[in-house]
Amino acid sequence: AQRVTQPEKLLSVFKGAPVELKCNYSYSGSPELFWYVQYSRQRLQLLLRHISRESIKGFTADLNKGETSFHLKKPFAQEEDSAMYYCALSGWSSSNTGKLIFGQGTTLQVKP
Amino acid sequence: GAGVSQSPSNKVTEKGKDVELRCDPISGHTALYWYRQRLGQGLEFLIYFQGNSAPDKSGLPSDRFSAERTGESVSTLTIQRTQQEDSAVYLCASNSISGGFTDTQYFGPGTRLTVL
């Protein structure tokens, strides 16, 4: 079964502290993994995807196929990082529709 | 350019009534998706359109839910005989699928449906 698990509903850190938002997935093919973010009163938007292997707003995420994880990390959290973060996967196969399977989301709260 | 738009932004209805939710995707995007987010839960996939056809309807929760897309543009999600458990934020997203990879999905602001 295809599933994305984000074990933490809420992660609260102080400004300047490191952040790691956990994401584990279950998928029997070649998944594409994404992190989407929703800031207060804004629409859901892509933060980063594993294929790009880039750092966005200081965030990085590495796909670990052995551990089936795609944790999101940032070495020094900023107050403007406070938002809801969703991990998502999409399958790439001949029957791929591109639909996203989302985790339940983690609220990141960065305190001053 | 303009992003994905949805209307209405909020809809309050009485149990048993029908509702229609509208999505205007980004111009030129051939793929369109509907998702639902119930309170405290993640987004659930409902239906996928490629052009005007819907090859994947696997997420529609019951036959009270239906959707159509016309002119490879606007899509309407219809919920008949609404129930309280239909209360959720309904999100629409669009993208262009190319080369076997999934391009970024661009989301609309959502329609918050409340069934009393």
Tens digit of pLDDT for each residue in B46-95? 999 988 999 899 999 999 999 999 988 999 999 999 999 999 999 999 98
Which pLDDT does position B115 carry in this prediction?
97
CB distance from A93 to chain B under 8 Å?
A: no
Which chain A residues touch B51 with a CB distance below 8 Å?
Answer: none
Which pLDDT does position A72 carry in this prediction?
97
**What confidence tier does A93 reach under pLDDT thresholds 50, 70, 90?**
low
Residue-averaged pLDDT of chain B: 92
For B102, the closest of A44, A86, A90 (CB atoms) is A90
- pLDDT per residue as tens digits for the range B79-89: 999 999 999 99
Q: What stretches of B70-110 adopt beta strand conformation (E)?
A: 75-79, 88-95, 106-107
Which residue does chain A place closest to B56, by CA atoms? A97
> How far, in Å, CA of A21 to CA of A107, rounded?
9
Decide if A51 and B108 are in contact by the 8 Å CB cutoff.
no
CB distance from A10 to chain B under 8 Å?
A: no
The C-alpha of B26 sits at a distance from chain A's nearest C-alpha, in angstroms, of 14
> How far, in Å, CA of B26 to CA of A14, rounded?
38
Which amino acid is located at A92 in the chain? W
Which pLDDT does position B1 carry in this prediction?
57
Domains, chain A, ordered by start: 3-111 (2.60.40.10)
Is the pLDDT at B99 greater than 50, yes or no? no
Domains, chain B, ordered by start: 5-109 (2.60.40.10)
Which pLDDT does position B82 carry in this prediction?
97
Which chain B residues touch A90 with a CB distance below 8 Å?
Answer: 102
> Which of A9, A106, A27 has the alpha carbon at shortest distance from A63?
A27
| Adjacency order of strands within the sheet including A60-61 | A19-21, A72-74, A60-61
CB distance from A86 to chain B under 8 Å?
A: yes
Which pLDDT does position A92 carry in this prediction?
59
For B102, the closest of A44, A86, A98 (CB atoms) is A98
The C-alpha of B77 sits at a distance from chain A's nearest C-alpha, in angstroms, of 17
- Contact between residue A36 and residue A88 where contact means Cβ atoms under 8 Å apart: yes
